[in-house]
C-alpha cells in the first residue's frame, strides 16, 4: 500500500465511513453485480460500471495492479432473458433464442463499457458456468436448516436465519429494516408454497423447453436458480467465503444484496460476506426516473452514436458521470454532457499540441497524488476533478508541466488517453478532414451531409463501424489516416470503383470511365493509370489527394 494514504469508504452495512483494511493486502477482492443480459445497457447501468472502475483503479494504485481482483458477473439466467428471447426469436427453440440474446447483449455491453474507458474486470463469471456451485450452496443451506423444499422449489427462510444463534448477522441488517416490517409490507399474492411471505427462491422448477439443470436436494426434474444465489455462488467460487468489497447500485440493497448476505453467511456460518458494502446513487434523466413510457430512456449506445441529434464521446460520458459523488443522485441532461464534451475537447487540444513538442518528465505517481488523496476520502471524484482543474489552471506552474500532469491524470482516471487526445485535439491539424474523408469513402455519410457534420459525429460513425481503432493504427504507422482505405482495398468502395472504371475503359465507354474518375476525385482519390510492366495490361493505382 502506498505509504501515508488511508482509504476510507462508506459502508452501507455500518452506515459509517470506515477505514478500509483489506483481508489480505496482497489479494484485495471486489465483487460488483453486473448486467442481466437481455437489453442494451442504459446510462443508469453505466454508473456502477464507471464508479467501481474508478475504485478498481484506485485500489490497483494503492496495493499494486497484481494485488487486486475485480469480479463483475454476467447474469445470463433470468426470466427476463427468457421472455425477451421468446419475443425476439419466436421461431427458434427457446434455448437457442436465449443464447442469441445473451451473446449479442453481452458483446454490446462490452463494447459500450470499453468506450466509457473502463478496464476489463479480472474475471467476468457467467451464471450458467456456476450452476454446480449454486446447487452445492443450496444443499448446504438446506442441511443447515435455513432452506426448505416445497413443490419443486427450494426456498430460503429469513425467519430461520434470525432464529439461529451465533455469529450470523440479522436478516434486514443491510437494508436497515426489521423482519416484522418486511412481513407486514409483503405483497398479498404470496406464492402458496411459501411458509412465510419473506421466504425467497433459491431454486425453481423449469417447464419443458425452459432452460434447466439437474436440481439440488434430490428434487426430480430440471430447474434453475433464483437471481440472488447466482452472486453468492459466483463470489464464493472466485473469492472464497469472505472478501473485501461488494458493490452495486442502491436499488440492489434490497432484496438482492440482503439476500446474498443471508445466503452466504448462513451457508458458511460466518458473520460476514463482504467487509464493505458500497452502493452508487441513482441516475435520472432530465428530472425524471428513466422509463420507456416517458421517452427518456437512454442507452449508452444512443449517447455514443446520437442522442437528440448529438453524439458524445465515451470520455464526455465518463467525465460527466464522475462530476457527481457516487452516492449522490445524478440528473442526466444534454447540457451536462455538452459541457463535459467541450471541456474534454479543450483539454485534448492542449495535450495534442504538447505531444508534438515533447513532454517534460513527470512520474504518474507524482501527477496523480492529489487525485489519490481526494479519492481516498470515499471516492470523492468531484474533489479529485476540482483539484485537477485548479492544478491545471495554476498560472505559477510551467505550462508544459501543467499539461503533462493533466494528461497523466486524465489517463489515470480513464477519461482520456493520449491516443484519444490526439484525435479530439488535432481537428486543426487535419484529423477532422481525414476522418471526414474516411467516413465518406466508407459510405458512412454522403457528400451532401459532410458540410453539416461536426467532428464528433464523424468520429462516432467511425467508432461505430470499428474503423477508428484501425484508422489510428494506420495513422500511427505512417501518419496518414487514409492509408486505411488502401489497406482495405479488397472490400473498399474505392477498389470496386477502380475496377468498374477499368471495365468501362476496356469497353471504350469513356463517358462512364470519366464519371467514375470524377466520383473518386470528389472522394479525394487521385488515380494514376499505367501499364503493367510484365503483362502490358492497363493498371490503375491511386493515392490520396493532398
Ligand atoms: P440491472 O441490470 O437492472 O440489474 O442493473 C445493473 C446495475 O445497474 C445495478 O448495479 C443497478 O443497481 C444499476 N442501475 C440500474 N439503474 C440505475 C440507475 N438509474 N442509476 C444508477 N444505477 C442503476
Ligand atoms: Zn448480485
Q: Which ligand approaches the C-alpha of residue 282 most closely?
A: 1
pLDDT of amino acid 532: 64
DSSP string for 55-82: HHHHHHHHH-GGGEEEEE-BB---HHHH
For atom 2 of ligand 1, the residue with the nearest CA is 35
Q: Cβ neighbours of residue 170 under 8 Å, at least 6 residues apart?
A: 162
Short-list 534, 450, 441, CA closest to 496 = 441
pLDDT of residue 97: 93
Per-residue pLDDT, averaged over 195-213, amounts to 94
Give dist(CA 381, CA 366) in Å, integer.
18
Q: What is the chain's mean pLDDT, rounded?
A: 85
**DSSP sequence for 483-525:** HHHHHTGGG-HHHHHHHHHHHHHHTT-HHHHHHHHHHHHHTTE
Mean pLDDT of 468-482: 36
Ligand number with the minimum distance to the CA of 127: 2
Q: Which residue has the higher pLDDT, 433 or 358?
A: 358
User: What pLDDT band is residue 469 in, cutting at 50, 70 and 90?
Assistant: very low
* C-alpha dihedral (357, 361, 363, 364), degrees to nearest 10: -10
The closest ligand to the CA of 229 turns out to be 2
pTM for the structure as a whole: 0.81
Lowest mean pLDDT among 212-216, 295-299, 452-456: 452-456
256 C-alpha vs ligand 2 centroid, how far in Å? 6
Chain-centroid distance of CA 223 in Å reads 31
- Distance (angstroms) between ligand 1 centre and the Cα of 52 equals 13
Report the nearest-CA residue for atom 23 of ligand 1.
44
Judged by its nearest atom, the ligand closest to the C-alpha of residue 296 is 1
With the most atoms of ligand 1 within 8 angstroms of its CB, the residue from 84, 251, 252, 278 to mutate is: 251
- Whether residue 268 is predicted with pLDDT greater than 90 in this model: the reply is yes
How much is the pLDDT for 533?
Answer: 65
pLDDT in the model for residue 485 = 30
Lowest mean pLDDT among 220-229, 281-290, 470-479: 470-479
pLDDT given at position 350? 84
Question: Could you tell me the distance, in angstroms and rounded to a whole number, from the CA of residue 249 to the centre of ligand 1?
Answer: 5
Ligand 2 centroid, distance to 262 Cα (angstroms): 13
Give the count of alpha carbons within 13 A of 287, CB side only.
1
pLDDT for 189 beyond 70: yes
| Average pLDDT of span 376-389 | 98
- At 34 the pLDDT is 96
pLDDT tier at 3 (50, 70, 90 boundaries)?
A: low
Cβ–Cβ < 8 Å for 367, 49: no
pLDDT of 461 = 58
pLDDT of residue 494: 67
Name every protein residue with a CB atom under 6 angstroms from any ligand 1 atom: 33, 35-36, 44-45, 47-48, 248-249, 251-252, 280, 282-283, 290
Mean pLDDT of 190-203: 93
> At residue 274, does pLDDT exceed 70?
yes
Predicted local distance difference test score (pLDDT) of residue 65? 97
Cell numbers 474533489 label which residue?
Answer: 383
Residue whose CA lies nearest to ligand 1 atom number 17? 44
Which atom from ligand 1 is nearest to the alpha carbon of 256? 4
**283-298 average pLDDT score:** 87
CA of 283 to the centre of ligand 1 (A): 9
Position 462 scores a pLDDT of 59
| Residue pLDDT, tens place only, 37-69 | 999 999 999 999 999 999 999 999 999 999 999
| Segment 452-456 mean pLDDT | 44
Report yes or no: 524 and 544 within 8 Å, Cβ to Cβ.
Answer: yes
Any residues with CB less than 8 A from the CB of 212 and at least 6 apart, and which?
205, 206, 221, 222, 223, 224
Q: Are 130 and 237 in contact (CB under 8 A)?
A: yes
Answer yes or no: are the C-beta atoms of 75 and 67 closer than 8 Å.
Answer: no
pLDDT bin (cut points 50, 70, 90) of residue 443 is low
The predicted pLDDT at position 490 comes to 34
At the second CATH level, the architecture of 8-280 is 3-Layer(aba) Sandwich (3.40)
pLDDT at residue 128 in the model: 94
pLDDT per position as a tens digit, 516-546: 888 777 766 777 777 766 667 776 766 655 4
Which of 134-143, 390-399, 414-423 is the least confident region? Answer: 414-423
Cα separation, 190 vs 153, in Å, equals 14
What is the atom index within ligand 1 of the atom nearest the CA of 290?
19
Of ligand 1's listed atoms, the one at least distance from the Cα of 45 is 8
All three cell numbers of 175: 437494508
Q: Looking at residue 474, what is its pLDDT? A: 36
What atom in ligand 1 is closest to the CA of residue 281? 21
**Predicted pLDDT at 470:** 43
Task: Give the per-residue pLDDT at 399.
Answer: 87
What is the enclosing helix (H) or strand (E) of 464? helix 455-464
Mutate to test the pocket of ligand 1, among 12, 35, 45, 285 (most ligand atoms within 8 A of CB): 45
Return the higher-pLDDT residue of 357 and 370. 370
Per residue in 293-342, pLDDT (tens digit) is: 787 889 998 888 777 767 788 899 999 999 999 999 999 999 999 899 88
Mode of pairing for the β-strands spanning 283-285 and 330-332 = parallel
Ligand 2 centroid distance, CA of 238 (Å): 14
Q: Map residue 81 onto helix, strand or coil.
A: helix
Distance 132 CA to ligand 2 centre (A): 17
Residue 80 clears pLDDT 70, i.e. is over it: yes
Higher pLDDT, 216 or 291: 216
> What residue ranges do the domains of the chain occupy?
8-280, 311-423, 433-486, 490-544
Amino acid at each position: 500500500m502506498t505509504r501515508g494514504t488511508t482509504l476510507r469508504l462508506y459502508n452501507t452495512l455500518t452506515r459509517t465511513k470506515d477505514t478500509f483494511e483489506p483481508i489480505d493486502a496482497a489479494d484485495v477482492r471486489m465483487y460488483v453485480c453486473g448486467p442481466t443480459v437481455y437489453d442494451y445497457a442504459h446510462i443508469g447501468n453505466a454508473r456502477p460500471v464507471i464508479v467501481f472502475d474508478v475504485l478498481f483503479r484506485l485500489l490497483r494504485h494503492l496495493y499494486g495492479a497484481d494485488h487486486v481482483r475485480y469480479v463483475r458477473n454476467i447474469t445470463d439466467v433470468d426470466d427476463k432473458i427468457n421472455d425477451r428471447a421468446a419475443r425476439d426469436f419466436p421461431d427458434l427453440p427457446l434455448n437457442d433464442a436465449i443464447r442469441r440474446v445473451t451473446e449479442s447483449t453481452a458483446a454490446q455491453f462490452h463494447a459500450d463499457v470499453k468506450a466509457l474507458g473502463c478496464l476489463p474486470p479480472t474475471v467476468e463469471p457467467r451464471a450458467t458456468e456456476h450452476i454446480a456451485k449454486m446447487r452445492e450452496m443450496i444443499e448446504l443451506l438446506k442441511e443447515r436448516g435455513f432452506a426448505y423444499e416445497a413443490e419443486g422449489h427450494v426456498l430460503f427462510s429469513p425467519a430461520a436465519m434470525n432464529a439461529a444463534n451465533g455469529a450470523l448477522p440479522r436478516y434486514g441488517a443491510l437494508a436497515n429494516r426489521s423482519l416484522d416490517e418486511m412481513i407486514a409490507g409483503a405483497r398479498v399474492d404470496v406464492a402458496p408454497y411459501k411458509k412465510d411471505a419473506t421466504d425467497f427462491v433459491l431454486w425453481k422448477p423449469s417447464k419443458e423447453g425452459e432452460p434447466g439443470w439437474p436440481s439440488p436436494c434430490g428434487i426430480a426434474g430440471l430447474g434453475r436458480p433464483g437471481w440472488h444465489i447466482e452472486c453468492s455462488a459466483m463470489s464464493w467460487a472466485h473469492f472464497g467465503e469472505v472478501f473485501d468489497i461488494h458493490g452495486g447500485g442502491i436499488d440492489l440493497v434490497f432484496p438482492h444484496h440482503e439476500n446474498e448476505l443471508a445466503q452466504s453467511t448462513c451457508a458458511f456460518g460466518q458473520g460476514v460476506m463482504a467487509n464493505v458494502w458500497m452502493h452508487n446513487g441513482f441516475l435520472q434523466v432530465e428530472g425524471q426516473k428513466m422509463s420507456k413510457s416517458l421517452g427518456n430512456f437512454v442507452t449508452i449506445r444512443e449517447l455514443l452514436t446520437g442522442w437528440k441529434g448529438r453524439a458524445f464521446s465515451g470520455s464526455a460520458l465518463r467525465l460527466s458521470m464522475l462530476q457527481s459523488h457516487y452516492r449522490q443522485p445524478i440528473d442526466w441532461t444534454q447540457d451536462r454532457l455538452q459541457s463535459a464534451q467541450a471541456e474534454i475537447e479543450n483539454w485534448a487540444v492542449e495535450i495534442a499540441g504538447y505531444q508534438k513538442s515533447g513532454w517534460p518528465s513527470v512520474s504518474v505517481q507524482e501527477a496523480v497524488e492529489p487525485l489519490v488523496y481526494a479519492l481516498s476520502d470515499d471516492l470523492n471524484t468531484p474533489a479529485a476533478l476540482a483539484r485537477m482543474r485548479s492544478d491545471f489552471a495554476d498560472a505559477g506552474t510551467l505550462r508544459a508541466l501543467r499539461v503533462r500532469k493533466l494528461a497523466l491524470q486524465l489517463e489515470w482516471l480513464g477519461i482520456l488517453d493520449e491516443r484519444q487526445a490526439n484525435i479530439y485535439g488535432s481537428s486543426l491539424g487535419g484529423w477532422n478532414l481525414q476522418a471526414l474523408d474516411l467516413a465518406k469513402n466508407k459510405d458512412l455519410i454522403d457528400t451532401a451531409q459532410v458540410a453539416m457534420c461536426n467532428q464528433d459525429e464523424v468520429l462516432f460513425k467511425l467508432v461505430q463501424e470499428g474503423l477508428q481503432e484501425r484508422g489510428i493504427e494506420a495513422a500511427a504507422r505512417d501518419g496518414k489516416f487514409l492509408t486505411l482505405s488502401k489497406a482495405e482495398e479488397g472490400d473498399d468502395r474505392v477498389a470496386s470503383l477502380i475496377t468498374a472504371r477499368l471495365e468501362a475503359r476496356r469497353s471504350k465507354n469513356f463517358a462512364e470511365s470519366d464519371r467514375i474518375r470524377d466520383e473518386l476525385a470528389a472522394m479525394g482519390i487521385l488515380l494514376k493509370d499505367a501499364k503493367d510492366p510484365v503483362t502490358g495490361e492497363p493498371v490503375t493505382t491511386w493515392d490520396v489527394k493532398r
